[in-house]
A = this chain, B = another copy of it.
């Protein structure tokens, strides 16, 4: 049983295209999570309520995804002392993602947001599991396994390329 619980929030249902990757990896790592829609600009009071009660509601970290002038992660961080993980989303209204990245990353002193790569929801999930791994041995073990599997996959792929040559029909790209 997972000892930790993660919140995954985003400004609109359309962000699920990116943010569902956080949910998927948390399931794979056997970490509990709850996912919902919270908009900084359209439901600011819902956001405040959510953030202020997150710790006492049993969450250990909050993953927040947003695009364009992305205020959700930073504003959630204004209301809680839990670690907040920000996912810059390359939304349709974004200038190639630069606005999403900068408005999440460049938080003022005192109110950090742990920012991951553009559209990096999967890494947000892994980071959340790493935070939980400090007190949840199952999460720690799962993360170790995941790392090993990534390594094995590369080694297997290297072996295929080395054995067959990159021009071989056995090596797709």
**Interface set of A (CB-CB < 8 Å, partner B):** 4, 11-17, 20, 23, 35-46, 48, 55, 60-61, 67-71, 74-75, 77-79, 81-83, 85, 93-99, 101-120, 122-124, 126-127, 130-135, 140, 143-144, 146-147, 150-151, 153-155, 157-158, 160-162, 165-166, 171-173
Instruction: Say whether B43 contacts A151, CB under 8 Å.
Output: yes
A55 proximity list for chain B (CB < 8 A): 140
Given A20-B166, A143-B81: A108 and B75 within 8 A (CB)?
no
Question: Is A41 in contact with B115, judged by CB distance below 8 angstroms?
Answer: no
Q: Is the CB of A42 within 8 A of B111?
A: yes
Q: Give the docked Cα–Cα distance between A48 and B48 (Å).
A: 10
Please determine whether A112 and B133 come into contact, CB atoms closer than 8 angstroms: no
Q: Which residues of B contact A158 (CB under 8 A)?
A: 36-38, 43, 46
Asked whether, in the complex, the Cβ of B123 is within 8 Å of the Cβ of A116, the reply is no
Count copies of this chain in the complex. Answer: 8
Find chain B residues with CB under 8 A from A16 CB.
166, 171, 173
Chain B residues in 8 Å Cβ range of A105: 69, 99, 101, 105, 115-117
Return the chain B residue nearest A17 by Cβ.
Answer: B173
